[in-house]
Chain A
Amino acid sequence: MEWETVIGLEIHAQLATRSKIFSGAATAYGAEPNTQACAVDLGLPGVLPVLNEQVVLMAIKFGLAIDAEIPERSIFARKNYFYPDLPKGYQISQFELPIVSRGNLEIELDDGTTKTVGVTRAHLEEDAGKSMHEGFGNMTGIDLNRAGTPLLEIVSEPDMRSAKEAVAYMKKIHSIVRYLEICDGNMQEGSFRCDANVSIRPKGQKEFGIRTELKNINSFRFVEQAINIEVERQIDIIEDGGTIVQETRLYDPNKNETRSMRSKEEANDYRYFPDPDLLPVQIEPELIEKIRSELPELPNAKKQRFITEFNLSDYDSAVLTAQKEMAAYFETCVAVAGGEAKLSANWISGELSAALNKDNKEITECPVSAEMLGGMIKRIKDDTISGKIAKQVFEAMWNGEGDADTIIEKKGLKQVTDSGAIEKLVDDVIANSPAQVAQYQAAPPDKQGKLIGYFVGQIMKQSQGKANPKQVNELLKEKLKA
């Protein structure tokens, strides 16, 4: 039997505000336990929530970025359940009338095709605190610093058909929220996390299978692994004649398995109702238009522009525009390099990305600035250095030895383009290699191209790589003519 996977994602993006969604406490990460939990966050008797203006503006930005509807009126509801990291015994969230409804998003797949994924809704809610199960003996410690941090929960349609599509969708949302500067996207700190609803069905069947919900997956890699392992598990169960239980499961990356979360299994009755402490949010059309006019260029638009403006391939353009900072780096680099787009693109997605990966650095932490890289590419272009020498220059720049010109100067890496000097090198090699010369001259023309490599190698060795390869080649061909 051939199976089809059906995936829907619920992404929680922590909104990058200074203060919390309903209180004036700070949202900064990493403070001492409970030092950023104010009276409102603690749910002290008598306190009341007041909505942060920024979270509304940020949610609208997101909605506009995915072509969604922004209803004129939005309301907050209470989701009632007891849990120690939920101070009030209810979470303020949205149920009916979320701030963003029905949008869609185009994602690129590995085979170069694109696919549109529906976004059912995006709603605002407050985050819970943290439960710490280690270090308190037979007790659990509760830190409520995170309680009340604003979240945008982005709920997709069950439109994805593979773990890879799910990852592409998640990456696209990640890219958009960072472009909009409404979320820092930091997955280690939990600012961007995801739950995946996964089910399978025989290929061709219309009805959905029974789904499980994989909770709190905090990296792109884990999303892919978790979905794949869950799909395998579901196939095994069904092929063995079993049925899937609708439940919440936790992915364990160490064991690469999902397991049932028994504590959450019990059927919840959240008793949603409009929060009587908060009034409906009225969103005026003028506000929406104002925000729309101020939206930055988004990943897809930027990608299209890069293709036309810089004549880049679809692939290069997608890689360079995935991150706003990367795209900005590229544009600065090209400008400094005098319009060398293709070369800049190659260096950024090649050498530079590899170096960043190796040192586990973000583009924003890159020791080689866009101006420095552009400066170096300019020197390749004007034949001051060869592409090969440039690798040395790049490494030196990475290690903080200065900009390209300084390094070229200090290390004497300037290419030899003086035709007299090159001619001397060519003549010397020909004189010292009679056997190779004879072999070359005896060979048929189609073999000569390969044999010439010996002479080029010798000259480069003599010149420590500095001789202009093009000039060397031309001169050799001429002098070796019998």
Chain B
Amino acid sequence: MHLSTLAQLSTALESRQISSEELTRLYLERCKKFNDSLNCFITINEDSAMAQAKSADEQRAAGKGSALTGIPIAQKDIFCTNGIKTSCGSKMLDNFIAPYDATVIEKMNAAGIVNIGKTNMDEFAMGSSNETSFYGPVKNPWDKDYVPGGSSGGSASAVAARLSPAATGTDTGGSIRQPASLCGITGLKPTYGRVSRYGMVAFASSLDQGGPMTQTAEDAALMMNVIAGFDQRDSTSAEVPVDDYTAKLNDSIDGLKIGLPKEYFDEGLDSNIAKLIEDGIKELEKLGAVCKDIELPNTQLSIPAYYVVAPAECSSNLSRFDGVRYGYRCDNPEDLSDLYCRSRGEGFGKEVKRRIMIGAYVLSAGYYDAYYLKAQQVRHLIRDDFQNAFKEVDIIAGPTATGTAFKLNEKINDPVSMYLSDIYTVSVNLAGLPAMSVPAGFSNKLPVGMQLIGNYFEESKLLNIAHRYQQATDWHLQVPGGFE
């Protein structure tokens, strides 16, 4: 049962083959059994999950509920969950019990989804390896000496190990797609504004976007049907009609024009991965898609622009953590400055502090134009690159990450090399586009993801292509040894 997809579990619950209470207990047992070795959960919601399961069963018995009613799903610990600790992977919020639900959580609760636990993550979503978490690194279930990617590493690891049939993630510079790639699961970063950011602890407000991390594209569509949509509490949320994301999954992709950016296949890419992506694209061609070489000439600039914009926004977003109203407060502050400096100095980890300092620096008097403004101009160029490309092609395909999962501690002391590995994902966030990572094979027994990038609000098209691809391949059905 634990190898089932959301779609299969939905059928099983609908046909009373299993109850939500049974299902939830099954997954809770798996979480408890494997969490010591994988460390993918910060909190396992045993009691509240069972209560939600009971109520889901009652709903289904009364003929109510929707497709996902009664299915346990793990939530990245960045989403505020009323009455449940919401740590964001930080010592700063180790004692924080969120007093309200994020819109995404509210929508999931309304759909009768069981919140099984809160997943581990890089501290405040800043990291690509899940090693910056205050709660320790998450392990990759394919090989526990390797990182799961980040920042949604806990969610990716939990879904890959089938401790939860699906999870939420957030993606600011690749934080859904890169761990999905490194753990062999499916991840979708929706268009900026498609999923409400209300209640999602902010890292970089103009880049952050929540989305599903699942086994299949079909499951991602089922989750999008629950979480997507306009939210009046989020000013940046888009007032654009929401698709039924499952409706077009099986559409033909005959004649689909796929753009292959040459910048995504250059010397920076591992040759094994290049081969796997090319194979993946061939599968799409077999389904009728047509490929075209394109250029995204400013790709190289996306990393520097991103590492100005994201830290600038984060330095301001994280100023609220001051030890006054909630969160960590240092012992015996001498005066106000001491309260601020020590609470923040002790409450934040190194990577967060680095980014806050970079952000404060690039916004400070005398540097704003040279850094912040310049980066926002570069951002415009990057957006234009994509818009030019979408005049010629329907979607863009390429690798999600430059390599497979790397070893724990391999890059943690070299921030710049860690940042550079985000080269294929960050430009999508700067442009606000939707993108997916789908499993496309293995290199040295570690999963590799293929990235599909769509135009604004074309999640349905991405899911359709990914679904058709998954009908023709079985990479997404592979389960790491020991978790079958």
Contacts and interface: CB of A to CB of B under 8 A. Distances in A.
Interface of A: 39, 42-51, 78, 80, 82, 84, 87-90, 142, 269, 271-273, 276-279
B281 to A, nearest CB: 35
Nearest to B204: A276
Nearest to A43: B320
A50 B234 CA distance: 7
Contacts of B197: 46, 48
A46 B102 contact: yes
B230 interface: no
A48 B197 CA distance: 8
Interface in B175-218: 197-202, 204-206
A379 B201 CA distance: 72
A50 B199 CA distance: 14
Nearest to B88: A45
Contact of B236 (A84, A90, A273, A277): A277
Contacts of B227: none
Contact of A279 (B88, B235, B313, B326): B235
Given A50-B235, A271-B360, A276-B313, A84 B320 contact: no
Given A42-B325, A50-B234, 11 more contacts: A45-B321, A48-B233, A48-B235, A80-B315, A84-B322, A89-B319, A89-B320, A89-B322, A273-B316, A273-B363, A279-B235
B418 interface: no
A56 to B, nearest CB: 13
Contacts of A276: 204-206, 236, 313
A39 B325 contact: no
B80 A46 contact: yes
Nearest to A273: B363
Nearest to B87: A45
Nearest to B198: A48
B312 A273 contact: yes
Contacts of A50: 232-235
B232 to A, nearest CB: 7
A45 B320 contact: yes
Contacts of A49: 235
Contacts of B320: 43, 45, 87-89
A45 B80 contact: yes
A48 B198 CA distance: 6
B234 A45 contact: no
Contacts of B100: 39, 44
B364 interface: yes
Given A46-B80, A82-B319, A82-B322, A277 B205 contact: yes
Interface string B353-393: 00000001001110010001000000000000000000000
Contacts of A80: 315-316, 319, 363
Given A50-B232, A271-B316, A45 B201 contact: yes
Contacts of B318: 89
Nearest to B206: A276
A50 B204 CA distance: 18
Contacts of B236: 48, 276-279
A142 B182 CA distance: 47
B235 A45 contact: no
A192 to B, nearest CB: 29
Contact-size category for B: 35 or more
A46 B200 contact: yes
A269 B367 CA distance: 11
Interface in B306-340: 312-313, 315-316, 318-322, 324-326, 336, 340
Contacts of A42: 325
A93 B475 CA distance: 51
A39 B326 CA distance: 12
A90 B319 contact: yes
B360 to A, nearest CB: 7
List the 10 closest A-B pairs by CB distance, nearest first: A89-B319, A276-B205, A271-B363, A276-B206, A46-B199, A43-B320, A45-B201, A88-B320, A46-B80, A46-B201
A121 B93 CA distance: 40
B99 interface: yes
Contact of B325 (A43, A82, A278): A43
Nearest to A82: B340
Given A46-B199, A273-B372, A88 B319 contact: yes
B170 to A, nearest CB: 11
B102 A84 contact: no
B363 A142 contact: no
14 contacts: A44-B80, A45-B80, A45-B96, A46-B102, A46-B198, A46-B200, A47-B198, A51-B235, A90-B316, A271-B368, A276-B205, A276-B313, A277-B202, A278-B235
A39 B82 CA distance: 12
Contacts of A47: 198-199
A438 to B, nearest CB: 90
B138 to A, nearest CB: 21
A269 B336 CA distance: 19
A96 to B, nearest CB: 11
Contacts of B102: 46
Contacts of A46: 79-80, 98, 102, 197-202
A150 B201 CA distance: 25
Contacts of A78: 316
Interface string B285-315: 0000000000000000000000000001101
B246 interface: no
B86 interface: yes
A42 to B, nearest CB: 6
Contacts of A51: 235
Contacts of B321: 45
Given A90-B316, A276-B204, A276-B205, A44 B99 contact: yes
Contacts of B319: 80, 82, 88-90
A42 B320 CA distance: 9
Interface string B434-458: 0000000000000000000000000
Contacts of A88: 319-320
B340 A269 contact: no
A47, A48, A88, A89 interface centre (most CB from chain B within 10 Å): A48
A133 to B, nearest CB: 12
B338 to A, nearest CB: 12
Nearest to B92: A45
A273 B321 CA distance: 19
Contacts of B80: 44-46
A87 to B, nearest CB: 6
A64 to B, nearest CB: 26
A44 B326 contact: yes
A48 B340 CA distance: 23
A88 to B, nearest CB: 5
A272 B360 CA distance: 11
A277 B202 CA distance: 10
Contacts of A277: 202, 205, 235-236
B315 to A, nearest CB: 8
Which interface residue of A42, A47, A50, A51 has the most chain B CB atoms within 10 A?
A47
A90 B202 CA distance: 14
